[in-house]
Amino acid sequence: MSEHPLLVPDPDDERLTRLVRGIDQDGNTVEAPIVHERPLTLFLNGQEIVTMMTIGDHPDYLAIGYLLNQNMLREDDVITAIEHDDELELVVVRTARQTNYEEKLKKKIRTSGCAQGTVFGDLMERFEEIRLDGDARLRTTWLASLTRTINTTPSLYLRAGAIHGCALCRKDRVLLYMEDVGRHNAVDKIAGYMFRHGIEPHDKIFYTTGRLTSEMVIKTVQMRIPILISRSGFTAWGVDLARDAGLTLIGRARGRRFLALAGEERLIFDDDGERMATGPD
């Protein structure tokens, strides 16, 4: 795989923001870019699953990733078609396997996501069976380099705010960077991209701008990524789940500063405080 980013935000995409006129603190008339938020109804074969609020980019990856992280798509499922209708605001994922999740859809849990994410059924359906790669490592120089790169990459967050970002990384390189109004959507987009393009998770690092909640930990473990990083803080259940799963959990990551509360054995402290080397391949 190329070490250059495969996909990064496009803050100049006119579909994602619009200019809104207002006044600033001095009473001057200004025009500010505001992020669009629109509904997207997801169908799996002939069954309506959920309506998500999203910025509208990459509906195919969002749909696939959502279904994967809800355990409605299996790793061996064959996707026969993905149909997106922008005017009707819907996306349909079709699979070779017949599906029916009527009972699962009756069990809804509203998550702590800022855009009120919803999960269905048993959150721990596969969680306890997953084993993460014990050989994965994170050098502190990679961590510092990643936070600097992600914080300076042109993005909707820097242009308009009111948005969360997630990145898939390998060593000190950002491979994918997705944004949305809810961090759960950004996670699902990356999960969908990985599924569609056959990206292996065992040597990857996941970065999120959002809090390290139980939902974030569960989704990262389900994606089989062994390291999760955030510039934000933790919830207690998120930490407990990370420890149970053997996930390396790092929060409050800003520059060379961070706090690791689970999976510390994967850390390699190679930052001498002076230079920002990236470690050998």
pLDDT tens digits, one per residue of 39-92: 999 999 999 999 999 999 999 999 999 999 998 999 999 999 999 999 999 999
Total structural domains within the chain: 1
54 part of a folded domain: no
Of 209, 218, 208, 213, whose CA–CA distance to 247 is shortest? Answer: 218
Asked if 261 contacts 239 with a C-beta cutoff of 8 angstroms, the reply is yes
Kindly indicate the confidence band of residue 278, based on its pLDDT and cuts at 50, 70 and 90: very low
Domain ranges, residue 261 = 138-268
Based on its alpha-carbon atoms, the radius of gyration of the chain, rounded to whole angstroms, reads 19
Residue 40 structure tokens: 């997207």
Chain mean pLDDT for the chain: 89
Half-sphere exposure of 155 (CA within 13 A, CB side): 23
Quote the CA–CA distance of 208 and 167 in Å, as a whole number.
6
* Percentage of residues of the chain with pLDDT beyond 90: 74
- Report the CATH number that the domain containing residue 166 is assigned in CATH: 3.40.140.10
230 part of a folded domain: yes
The predicted model scores a pTM of 0.88
Residue 121 pLDDT exceeds 60: no
67 part of a folded domain: no
In this predicted structure, what is the pLDDT of residue 4? 57
